[in-house]
Amino acid sequence: MIEPPATATPPREAARQRLDLASPREIMGLAHLELVARGIVEGFLIGLHDSPKRGFSAEFSENRAYNRGDDLRHLDWKVYARTDRLFVKQFEEETNLRAYILLDVSRSMGWVSDEESLPTKLEYARLLAASLSLLLIQQGDAAGLIAFDEKMRGDIVPRSTRRHWRRLVAELARLYPAGKTNPGSALKDLARRLQRRGLVVLISDLLVTPERTQKALRYLRHRGHEVILFHIMDPGERELPAAGEAIFYDPETDQELNANSAALRKQYREAVEGAITTWRKEALRWGADYTLLTTNMPLGLALRRFLRKRSLLG
């Protein structure tokens, strides 16, 4: 849970600080989740020197501030007359894309190797999910959320308004790590409900049985859905410490193992890099997009990779 300080950082100020380029730990205590995500996305869009695209249709939903490049036909002149500020009418459009963000909230996502300098994997993933969903909605897409461990922990159907995004962020903020990781059931349930072409974004540390999860993801691709994998890792998971005797703890099974980490470092590194390579190759083989993110990476890197993929979907 991200606790707000006494005074929150305003979104415009956050954007000037380019939160998309800041280290995750630096921004964890700036403000509550909604304002931090806004600052990340606004800073990212400023960096692109462009404004987000939006679509419109016939059913009015809400107003938002005017952005350079918006269709002037949709300016709300009545609001302008009252406030002397430009607002655009937003609509419940037939959106460009329906996107589901699948967020792993299993117990292993609560692990962190250095509490002083890093967020937990879940804190990082939560910020990523909030930022991605805002970016989608600002492009006129609909964003939904499914949280899972070994079962479904949260389910919000995709919609495309700011009000909906605030509800999604509130759901993200209340999630906590618990249970074992099993994305297979959530992916199968999602495949059954997606009636038309959509986008599935899986955010997980992928501490799963690879074959079962990959089978479910392949099925989604076979049904015509786009799939993006964000593999979240703590830097401490890629490299064992140089210390001698150590106790290794599995947070999902509570099992412990005494071992000499110095002797295991080479084998461990090779196993981890082998697993990463396998995920990347498998995703490429069945047409999905794979990105490895460690929790010390700025969120802007993930958003840039995501936007590049989104631009290919039309």
Q: What is the pLDDT of residues 165-179, one digit of tens each?
A: 999 999 999 999 998
289 contacts 221 by C-beta, under 8 angstroms: no
Burial code (b: 16+ CB inside 10 Å, e: under 16) for 228-262 equals bbbbbbbeebeebeeeeeeeeeeebeeeeeeeebe
Query: What pLDDT score does 32 carry?
Result: 85
What is d(CA 220, CA 148) in angstroms, rounded to the nearest whole number?
17
What are the structural domain ranges in the chain?
60-91, 98-311
281: exposed, middle or buried (C-beta count within 10 Å: 0-12, 13-18, 19+)?
Answer: exposed
For residue 182, the tally of other CB atoms under 10 A from its CB is 18
Query: What pLDDT score does 241 carry?
Result: 66
Q: What is the CA radius of gyration of the chain?
A: 20
Phi, psi of 105 (to 5 degrees): -120, 30
Give me the residues of the chain with pLDDT under 70, please. Answer: 1-17, 30-31, 49-64, 66-74, 79-80, 87-95, 241-263, 312-314
Query: What pLDDT score does 71 carry?
Result: 64
Query: What pLDDT score does 69 carry?
Result: 63
Q: At what angle do helices 261-285 and 210-222 cross, to 10 degrees?
A: 20
Query: What pLDDT score does 66 carry?
Result: 66
Fold observed for domain 98-311: Rossmann fold (3.40.50)
Alpha carbon 100 to chain centroid, angstroms: 10
Query: What pLDDT score does 47 carry?
Result: 79
Query: What pLDDT score does 94 carry?
Result: 45
Indicate the pTM of the whole model.
Answer: 0.77
Q: What is the pLDDT of residues 99-130, one digit of tens each?
A: 999 999 999 999 999 998 999 999 999 999 99
For the chain, what is the mean pLDDT? 80
